[in-house]
Amino acid sequence: MGVKKEWLLDAFIKTYLYSHAPVGSESLRLALQGQAVQISSATIRNYFKQLTSEGAICQSHSSGGRIPTTKALKDYWRSKLDLSTPLEVDLDKLQGASECYGIFSMVERYQRAILEAVHNHAGQFLILDFGNTQALLPYNKKLEGFLKDLIGLECKAIQELALSVCATSLAKKIDQLYQEKLYFGLCVLGQLIQKRGAQGLFRQILEGSFLRGLKQGLHFEKVLPLGFLGVVCPIKAGGEQQRMLCVGGLEQDFEGFYGAIRRLSI
């Protein structure tokens, strides 16, 4: 794809994300004119034909305008969303931004707690002492030895180690006690329920198990219904590094959303 054609496709998708309506050659010309870019409608139509034949855009059934294909939107977000460094997020802005941009977000953070001791209670239970609270697990000799080696570690590190050795009961217990989940824009998830077979996915997202199994990055139809985008990225909020999951339709403005929740430097 030529440089000018790539640039035009980028401008086309930006215009579509802003308007949520099919984009015609004249409407794109006017949008570009507002950015001090001069290009004729005829030239745009020629590029539209090429982009249509390449599968990047398609004709809208409701009008003479065109819309980006699923593949084009996926490629667009792969090129635009930079997840290499944690985003400084203002949590106070998340609810408003989620509603404004139609994007659900969940922030996962751990309360700090250090494992101080592990007690064997009559060979029946293991009591994990975190100082201000305790956790109870069925007794297992191997698990007892594993946990005693972890005394002095924070709960988050313990959960990560537990998952690495498939000690799922331990990981779930720590998750229940010390992992706090903040939800924003829950109404957006209502769209998921309408998709066939997505009810279980809805529960997994709310419970947090969905995020636990995902790596950092962009996720499409392998884990979400077709037409949806999920983004897992590291963030910083209140001086703490946390994880955030965002879910929305491919046609939602994720760039605008992340810009809206960014914490401004003082």
Nearest-10 Cα torsion for 35, 41, 44, 46: -170
pLDDT grade for 265, boundaries at 50, 70 and 90: low
Partners of 136 in beta bridges: 127
What is the pLDDT, as a whole number, of residue 255? 95
Beta strands in the chain (DSSP E): 57-59, 66-68, 87-88, 104-110, 117-121, 125-129, 134-138, 179-184, 217-219, 228-237, 240-249
Q: How far apart are CA 68 and CA 1, in angstroms?
A: 16
What pLDDT, in 10s, does the model give residues 85-103? 899 999 999 999 999 999 9
Contact partners, residue 156, CB within 8 Å, separation at least 6: 110, 178
pLDDT grade for 250, boundaries at 50, 70 and 90: very high
Percent of the chain at pLDDT > 90 equals 55
What is the pLDDT, as a whole number, of residue 90? 93
pLDDT grade for 179, boundaries at 50, 70 and 90: confident
| Sign, Cα dihedral of 201, 207, 211, 213 | negative
Which domains are seen in the chain, by residue range?
3-77 (1.10.10.10), 81-109+180-261 (3.30.450.40), 117-179 (no CATH)
pTM listed for this prediction: 0.80
